[in-house]
């Protein structure tokens, strides 16, 4: 399973070798709000083009138009409103880097306001945006103030350069293995835009993302890293599971904090809860959803499930969607944080946003309950926009360079 490498960041934060296997690099697509097709009633199509497309860059009513310029060697920093003190990516000094190992995919988000009509047409607003649970976590961590975020993943040659560009624009240092045989993973997200929670259903083709192999991994990727986050999707396929276990072992040998988000109750059920628990032995922080926590333990109720999981993992944070989140250590609930009210447009990536902000806050020195609060705030922000990534901003490039 041969692969080239695209976007391995150099020591000054500049991506090295941004061109794909044929020497062509992606154009200047905006992040998080790219579009394809036409907008449905009441929708504004925003952003620039997905891979291989062109589209006018027009901001929606609540969005700032992205700056399509990126000076050579500079990262565009993304600073959220109300980020935790000392974690804004400009005022504090990060104790070390975050490395995320996981999936990167192309999301096709279809928001429909009426029930799906089998056998005929259903009007929808459709957008093509960058996604993948692991890549989303990395982008949200950078957005929430983590000043050195790195990402390892695998994409197909069809869209690797575009994904590398989107990660760089989100202030993430990408290291993408380019798969010469499999296409980039694709997820079709069907979003019930008429529902209050904007609930989504996924159709998933993992493509190259779960072909991340041990050959793509090197312990040197942990140099300067203090926290490793592994996307749970990695554990659901043979090659990527071996890679995740190698990364986990290397991180444990260095005494690093390791977190895992199980990522998918459906895939977790097919993989087997006991097998997943064995694969993740030694993880420091587990961040399941309510369904995933209950599936892993067989216990009804998130508090009881979290308490049981805390016998295996030092910290357990259970995401409860519209009910907020709770954190458990040593069998004791340390925090119950309510959800932040939001006008839900698309719930895709809300859990990834929670995880990214939570990790960023912990790296900035936040206590466990405060980090959970930051996760809930990020989750609320995620559901209020279309797509699984945060909006990126382009403050002074010298500041972005200094943050690296």
Q: How far apart are CA 200 and CA 192, in angstroms?
A: 6
pLDDT over 70 at 68, yes or no: no
Quick one: average pLDDT of 239-250? Answer: 97
Q: Furthest-apart CA pair in the chain: how many Å?
A: 56
The two tokens of residue 184 are 């980039």
Q: Identify whether the C-beta of residue 88 lies closer than 8 Å to the C-beta of residue 146.
A: no
| 196: confidence class by pLDDT, cuts 50, 70, 90 | low
* pLDDT for res 198: 67
pLDDT attached to residue 162:
96
Helix (H, G, I), strand (E, B) or coil at 167: helix
Question: Which are the contacts of 403, defined by CB distance < 8 A and separation ≥ 6?
Answer: 75, 77, 89, 90, 147, 148, 171
Q: Tokens in use for 150?
A: 């790195």
Under DSSP, the state recorded for 341 is P
pLDDT number for residue 202: 82
Assign a CATH topology to domain 92-104+131-184+208-393.
3.40.1190
Using a pLDDT cut of 70, give the percent of the chain over it: 72
How many C-alpha atoms does 168 have within 13 Å on its Cβ side?
34
The pLDDT of residue 392 is 67
Phi/psi for 193 (5° steps) reads -70, -15
List pLDDT tens digits, range 349-403.
Answer: 899 999 999 999 999 999 999 999 999 999 999 988 888 899 865 433 333 333 3
Task: Assess whether pLDDT exceeds 70 at residue 116.
Answer: yes
């Amino acid at each position: 399973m041969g692969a080239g490498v695209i976007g391995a960041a150099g020591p000054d934060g500049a991506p090295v070798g941004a061109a794909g296997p044929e020497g062509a690099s992606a154009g200047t697509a905006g992040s998080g709000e790219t579009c394809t097709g036409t907008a449905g009633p009441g929708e504004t199509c925003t952003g620039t083009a997905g891979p291989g497309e062109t589209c006018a860059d027009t901001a929606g009513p609540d969005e700032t138009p992205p700056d399509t310029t990126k000076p050579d060697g500079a990262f565009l920093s993304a600073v959220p409103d109300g980020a935790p003190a000392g974690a804004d990516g400009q005022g504090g000094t990060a104790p070390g880097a975050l490395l995320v190992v996981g999936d990167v995919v192309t999301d096709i988000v279809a928001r429909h306001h009426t029930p799906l009509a089998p056998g005929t047409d259903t009007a929808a607003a459709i957008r093509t945006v960058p996604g993948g649970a692991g890549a989303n976590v990395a982008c949200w961590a950078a957005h929430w103030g983590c000043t050195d975020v790195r990402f390892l993943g695998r994409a197909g040659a069809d869209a690797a350069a575009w994904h590398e560009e989107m990660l760089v624009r989100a202030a993430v240092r990408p290291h993408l293995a380019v798969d010469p045989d499999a296409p980039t993973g694709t997820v079709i997200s069907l979003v019930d835009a008429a529902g209050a929670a904007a609930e989504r259903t996924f159709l998933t083709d993992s493509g190259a993302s779960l072909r991340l192999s041990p050959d793509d991994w090197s312990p040197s990727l942990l140099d300067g890293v203090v926290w490793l986050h592994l996307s749970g999707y990695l554990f659901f396929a043979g090659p990527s599971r071996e890679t995740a276990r190698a990364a986990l072992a290397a991180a444990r040998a260095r005494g690093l904090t390791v977190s895992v988000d199980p990522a998918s109750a459906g895939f977790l059920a097919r993989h087997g809860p006991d097998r997943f628990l064995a694969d993740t032995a030694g993880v420091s922080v587990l961040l399941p959803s309510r369904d995933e926590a209950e599936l892993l333990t067989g216990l009804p109720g998130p508090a009881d499930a979290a308490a049981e999981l805390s016998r295996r993992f030092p910290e357990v944070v259970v995401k409860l969607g519209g009910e907020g989140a709770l954190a458990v250590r040593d069998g004791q609930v340390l925090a119950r944080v309510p959800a932040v009210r939001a006008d839900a447009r698309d719930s895709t990536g809300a859990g990834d946003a929670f995880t990214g902000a939570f990790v960023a806050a912990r790296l900035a020195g936040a206590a466990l309950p405060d980090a959970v609060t930051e996760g809930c705030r990020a989750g609320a922000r995620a559901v209020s926009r279309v797509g699984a990534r945060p909006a990126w901003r382009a403050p002074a490039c010298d500041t972005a360079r200094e943050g690296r």
